[in-house]
């Protein structure tokens, strides 16, 4: 990981994601790009209003970014370079453009606790980012503090060449982190576990990755239990439409399960090479 893009909307949640990202940059010796995307909506009204030009708004945002960086440097003692980017655009288009233009290795976004995880991941903006980003997306939960990443839990629901490529992408990312990688597929009974072992699922892992088949009657709960039992620092998933992980995110929309996911989520879609 050489280039990390972090989005900010000047909220406490995005500030926490920035602080986390600075520590991550120090850990892997990466460059950090701080991004704010803005657009000026045109009021649909006959009432008079004060128009603000995009140039004026951009100057205001650049000033706020400088103030944010000064405050964060004072809070963290971070002395490295922080590149700032402002983009007058719609949120999704702006983020995706900057990811492509910078050739980013990782996109980091804050994850608010006031909404459900399903809302955050499958709302219109986040869904587009997950499906269209050309680099992995790391979601930082509200209040999550950085600590050395010792274990990455990689949830995988089936043996496919696409998933195999994504596992190897995580292995490449991990070259700088030097974390223990735990690839797991939650199964509902021992028979399914034996069948998957028979399919030589180890091809998915390689020598660098440990392979697990935890048994749990509820796959969604099994994912959470594996993460907790193994003290994972990141949970990695490969979201596709209509696969078990989209169902898992939707499941989090009910009850208090989303509050149990307290570690960063690393999401890698089909477009990541």
Reference 7, options 131, 92, 120, 115; nearest CA is 92
| Same domain (yes/no): 87, 188 | no
- Token pair of 14, please? 């995005």
pLDDT digit string, tens, across residues 258-273: 456 789 999 998 888 8
Burial of 172 (0-12, 13-18, 19+ CB in 10 A): exposed
Return the residue matching tokens 């809070």.
Answer: 75
Let me know whether 118 and 175 are in one domain: no
Question: pTM higher than 0.85, yes or no?
Answer: yes
- How many domains would you assign to the chain? 2
User: Which of residues 107, 141, 175 is at a domain's end?
Assistant: 141
Give 211-249 pLDDT, tens digit per residue: 899 999 888 889 999 999 999 999 999 877 555 555 555
Nearest to 157 by CA among 273, 257, 243: 243
Q: Does residue 38 lie in a domain region?
A: yes
N- to C-terminal Cα separation, the chain: 13
Report the percent of the chain where pLDDT is more than 90.
53
Is 89 found in the same domain as 64?
yes
Distance CA 218, CA 54 (A): 50
- Asked if 130 and 157 sit in the same domain, the reply is no
Q: Give the mean model confidence (pLDDT) for residues 118-126.
A: 53
Q: What is the pLDDT of residues 144-196, one digit of tens each?
A: 999 999 999 999 877 667 788 888 899 999 999 999 999 998 988 888 787 77
Tell me which residue range forms the domain holding 220.
151-267
Res 193: pLDDT: 80
Domain boundary among 141, 176, 209: 141
For residue 192, give every residue at least 6 positions away whose Cβ sits within 8 Å of its Cβ, in sequence order, or none.
Answer: none
Q: Is residue 146 part of a domain?
A: no
Q: Are residues 126 and 9 in the same domain?
A: yes
Q: Are residues 257 and 160 both part of a single domain? A: yes
In terms of domains, do 89 and 136 share one?
Answer: yes
Residue-level length of the chain = 273
> How much is the pLDDT for 51?
53
Nearest Cα neighbor of 261 from 124, 155, 177, 174 is 155
């Amino acid at each position: 990981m050489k280039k990390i893009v972090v989005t900010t909307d000047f909220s406490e949640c995005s500030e926490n994601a920035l602080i986390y990202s600075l520590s991550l940059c120090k850990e892997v010796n990466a460059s950090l790009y701080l991004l704010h995307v803005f657009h000026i909506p045109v009021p649909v009204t006959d009432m008079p209003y004060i128009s603000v030009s995009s140039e004026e708004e951009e100057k205001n945002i650049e000033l706020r970014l400088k103030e944010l960086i000064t405050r964060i440097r004072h809070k963290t003692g971070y002395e490295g370079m922080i590149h700032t980017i402002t983009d007058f655009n719609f949120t999704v288009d702006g983020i995706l453009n900057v990811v492509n233009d910078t050739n980013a290795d990782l996109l980091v976004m804050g994850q608010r606790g006031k909404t459900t995880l399903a809302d955050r991941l499958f709302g219109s903006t986040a869904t587009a980012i997950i499906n269209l980003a050309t680099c992995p997306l790391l979601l930082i939960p509200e209040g999550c503090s950085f600590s050395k990443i010792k274990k990455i839990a990689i949830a995988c629901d089936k043996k496919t060449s696409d998933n195999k490529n994504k596992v190897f992408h995580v292995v490449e990312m991990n070259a700088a982190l030097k974390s223990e990688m735990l690839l797991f597929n939650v199964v509902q009974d021992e028979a399914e576990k034996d069948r998957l072992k028979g399919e030589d699922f180890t091809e998915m892992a390689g020598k660098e990755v440990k392979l697990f088949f935890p048994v749990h009657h509820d796959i969604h709960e099994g994912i959470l239990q594996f993460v907790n039992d193994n003290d994972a620092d990141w949970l990695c998933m490969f979201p596709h439409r209509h696969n078990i992980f989209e169902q898992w995110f939707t499941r989090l929309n009910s009850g208090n399960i989303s509050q149990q996911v307290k570690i960063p989520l690393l999401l890698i879609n089909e477009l990541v090479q």
